[in-house]
Homo-oligomer: A and B are copies of this chain.
């Protein structure tokens, strides 16, 4: 047996010929692409079974230098907005024959650097990720040395990499203008970490709107590093207990609205009557809360689609040499959570 000649390796084109379809169709079947009809899938699978075709991805990786894997690392993937983004990106990659590796960065530079090295060892073909601190020299170096295309998700500082971002500046400015227009002057803002683009541009938008209206910002009302609902609860409680409490809350950090709503409820403050409220990202909760919460919205599915497409083009060498940046627009969805401040609170 051991002296017998190894049988000729069955190739993709043999399968295609036997099934009477194009090579690309066989590839789509192998990659579990849902656009293939069940009839075609069965025909191709029958040919694969008949011919004993075996695609060895790991061995191919060593020969061809491509693993058809893309890594995605984000700070926390139980944030619903990220899930919508990843869902769309994964669909695009899967339909193009790529498998997604998913890791959490836990929002720590050390983990981000270690992940970049781990992705390199896995020989992924491309990476899309968030980073916690756009000014971190070690992370910047690790990104530069990644060896494969990297696309940044909603990060803007490192200009040499492709990136998809959101116009948080415009969104925050519109939200602040809305509150100012209703007479609010003491506006509290809850925002994430200023080391990263989204929070930084939200604060810039807030400042721009206040400056344009000639309204001074009380630094005590600007609360940074609000990263989850517990942070939002604590900061909202603290702000409400100030002697000169804010009349409006701009809860700008992602997926933190629930925390602020619990604090308002705990202290018996009614949204739209006692305080005005704007959410930094739209959600079922913002829409269906009573009263509905005015919120900033952007198209997360479109963001995921664009990111995956841009990264695929870069991986295939179809992108221009210079880095590309796509900025998605935001809209302010106005509901019933903001009202003119009562005379007693006006300053």
A interface residues, Cβ below 8 angstroms from B: 29-32, 34, 38, 41, 54-59, 61-62, 67, 69, 76-80, 83-84, 86-87, 90-91, 94, 99-104, 106, 108, 110-111, 114-115, 117-118, 121-123, 229, 258, 261-262, 265, 284-285, 287-290
Contact B102 A58 (CB under 8 A): no
Which of B29, B102, B123 makes the CB contact (< 8 A) with A90? B102
By beta carbon, the residue of chain B nearest A304 is B78
- Known contacts: A102-B90, A121-B55, A289-B288. The answer to whether A108 contacts B77 by CB under 8 A is no
Which of B100, B121, B123, B265 makes the CB contact (< 8 A) with A101? B100
By beta carbon, the residue of chain B nearest A119 is B99
A268 CB, nearest partner CB in chain B, Å: 14
Please name the 8 residue pairs, one residue from A and one from B, whose CB atoms are nearest each other, closest first.
Answer: A32-B114, A78-B83, A258-B284, A290-B290, A102-B102, A57-B121, A78-B87, A32-B115
Give Cα A79 to B80, complex, Å: 8
- Known contacts: A83-B83, A87-B104. The answer to whether A41 contacts B110 by CB under 8 A is yes
How many chain copies does the complex carry? 2
Max chain B Cβ within 10 angstroms of own Cβ: one of A57, A78, A118: A78
By beta carbon, the residue of chain B nearest A30 is B118
Give Cα A56 to B110, complex, Å: 21
B residues within 8 A CB of A284?
Answer: 229, 258, 285
A57 CB, nearest partner CB in chain B, Å: 4
Contact B289 A123 (CB under 8 A): no
- Known contacts: A80-B83, A87-B76, A111-B32. The answer to whether A104 contacts B99 by CB under 8 A is no
Give Cα A103 to B30, complex, Å: 14
Give Cα A62 to B290, complex, Å: 58
Contact A80 B80 (CB under 8 A): yes
Contact A106 B59 (CB under 8 A): no
Give Cα A193 to B101, complex, Å: 29
Give Cα A261 to B286, complex, Å: 13
By beta carbon, the residue of chain B nearest A29 is B114
B residues within 8 A CB of A106?
Answer: 34
A279 CB, nearest partner CB in chain B, Å: 12
Max chain B Cβ within 10 angstroms of own Cβ: one of A32, A38, A59, A285: A32
Contact B58 A123 (CB under 8 A): yes
Contact B114 A90 (CB under 8 A): no
